[in-house]
Structure 1
Amino acid sequence: MSPAAPGAGTVLDGVPAGAFGPQTQAHGVVDRPGERPRVGVRLHDAVLDVGRAARRDGLDLADALSEPTLDAFMALGPAAWAQEREWLDALLPSLDPADELLVPLGQVGLRLPFTVADYVDFYASREHASNLGALFRPGQPPLPAAWTHLPVGYHGRAGTVVVSGTGVRRPVGQVRPPGSAAPEVVASRRLDIEAEVGFVVGIGSVQGEPVPLSAFADHVFGVCLVDDWSARDLQAWEYVPLGPFLGKSFATSVSAWVTPLSSLAAARVPAPPREHPVQAYLDDTDHPWGLDLRLGVTLQGHHVSSPPFAGMYWTAAQQLAHLTVAGASLRTGDLFASGTVSGPGRHQRGSLIELTWGGAEPLVLPDGTTRTFLEDGDEVVVTAWAPGPDEEHPVGLGEVRGRVLPARPLP
């Protein structure tokens, strides 16, 4: 069981007021002293004990909503998700702030909200992929040949996905210093972040049967935020020919809140124009699942980037279709992430390697300190929000927060 992280505060970088009103219905798992962890739904700066509220109202979902993870509820599928939403739409706007089942955020810890069954990370931002191609493969085409034809991704480690607020230990591994013929084992000197958006699978699928674009919302329950921590020096030495391994296996942080996909109806937008016609299973002409999500990144409390998710070349629906086209099955709790969200402007880059151009252009923070990559003790926070049903009711995606801990002694 993951350790409880402290409850989130009320002020999130760049997130407008009211983003966690009744329209959002972000789901998490709360932990109170002396009580079993339970599913909660956030309402402004409080959490509703949704299982007890469901039992009080005679809802037949009460047992699933009283579990210590979202697993059982997510596994019930779209009809149950819609039933809960209809109930919450009626309940939350008129709920008495003094209701005994509403607990202030500051009085709860927040746990990993679901059991991560599998984890896949994609590479869906053209700007990010082009920037890293230029940095890692100078003099060569920045994008791999397949990149504009399919969503590129890799399988990560489900067991090292941690909830927001968990400290991240600086990894140790092999690097090859510039000019050296042999590698050495060191603590990573180029520890980085990747500001991403994650999608949480509620309903599994049958092995050998691909999930079409039209079935995306039948399988995906909701959206979370992801920071896929990356050791760029380990990554640069190991990644040819099979891609990321130890450079990304040590920790992936996710937000404590999962915002239901149904809350993002007003945020749906078309994807950017594609360079080539796509294969039929990726043709999203009739199923546009671009999302207008506005991310913010702070380092040591200072805002450093505003990555725009709406510009992502490949949508989550296309990623899921590609993930399953060869026959891979889905399970409740599968997590797949977008890859780093970056835009065309320097202030829109979602990783330090891009923001500092490989360390050649250090960030100057408002307090006068500089950063190329992360130092021990640094804290990074990624937030996001989306347009809601109207300007007064935006939709929040919470935050994913992590602080860098010193490396353990070298082996």
Structure 2
Amino acid sequence: MDLTGIATLLTQDGWALLESLPQYDEATAMSLGEQLRRDGHPNDMVAAALTQSRLRSAARAKFGPFAEGMLFTPTGLEQATRLPVAARHAQRFAAADVKRVGDLGCGIGADSMALATLDREVVAVEKDEVTAALATVNLRHWPEAVVRHEDAMTTRIDDLDGAFLDPARREASGKRLLDPRTGNPPLSFVRELAGRLPAVGMKTAPGVPHHMVPDDTEAQWVSVDGDVVECGLWFGTVRREGVRRSALVLDSAGGGAELNDSSMADTVPAEVGKVGQFLYEPDGAVIRAGLVAAVANQLGGRLIDPTIAYVTADRIEHNPLAKVYAVDDVFGFQLKTLRTYLRDRGVGRITIKKRGTAVEPEQLRRQLRLAGPNEATIVLTRVAGRQSVIVVRPYKQN
């Protein structure tokens, strides 16, 4: 998508064409395009409209119904913050009474939209000309949001009370950058900015190691529907007092749960013991935040191994921070033993979960030569230092 393509859609005819398109279907997109051209629509307008229809369809997972009124680029959509997560970002600035926020490197404007929805004055800064144009379109409903086509690292900040940054995290080759020190802008710039503004937040990759998180920062790992999507670094008044690490677990239905280290619960060593009646799999955000021990203590459970992020207990305790499974069997891992176990139970379909083992699930699946009408779920992991199989099933409360 280039400026010419955007310009064709921003005409009365172009926008009407885009809004008239049916829900995008890859199987019929080519024939639809041919029909639209036969109907007299210009080639560039048809191409731009179909591209946006495809991107809007993909964007529903992040933006829900808001996607239908937005414009995207593939890269902008990929990096854009999911709307429920952007709302949590905005809530931090609102709670800290930060009135004028710079969204520095705003992309297509997702975080700016969330900030403006909470009545923050927003200065959305974007270096890429096409992306800045799309952000302007996407923010058209909020007059308190303005877009600057400028570099986030050189734009003026003397008119801001706070800033949020979502640095680019890909090299020109497309390789992902996991180290926040190598993003654009880099962590060093964000830290310097935090010395000049009272409230600064930064979105970075969820794989950021703990030792890279500055001491004066709250790091919050966020998951949505079990997928860890980011680690947010928070400085100044948008950092919560006494919190260094936290995990925020959200679902697409709007629910959420949060755990942090403010109570220092994670410093209490979790008990390690035998596998009980139930196995809990902490959410990935909890694991990334290093708060597995805190979840184990919440559940009244114990670890199955000091180095493995599975918790076990002898009673059921539903917790949004962990999935729970009923345990059917536990035994040492040997291929022949596992094959016999599954064959005797007529298992033809298997779900393989793994943690702390080098076994490759697809290779194991071939080696097992499964046949039969039944299903099973197995966990390949270490139990008290021993490579083991835990046979489980998702627990459903009556």
Same fold (TM over 0.5): no
Going by fraction, where is helix more abundant, 1 or 2? 2
Higher normalized contact order (CA 8 Å, seq sep 6+, divided by chain length): 1
TM-score, normalised by the number of residues in structure 1: 0.28
TM-score (norm 2): 0.28
Which structure's CA Rg is the greater one?
2
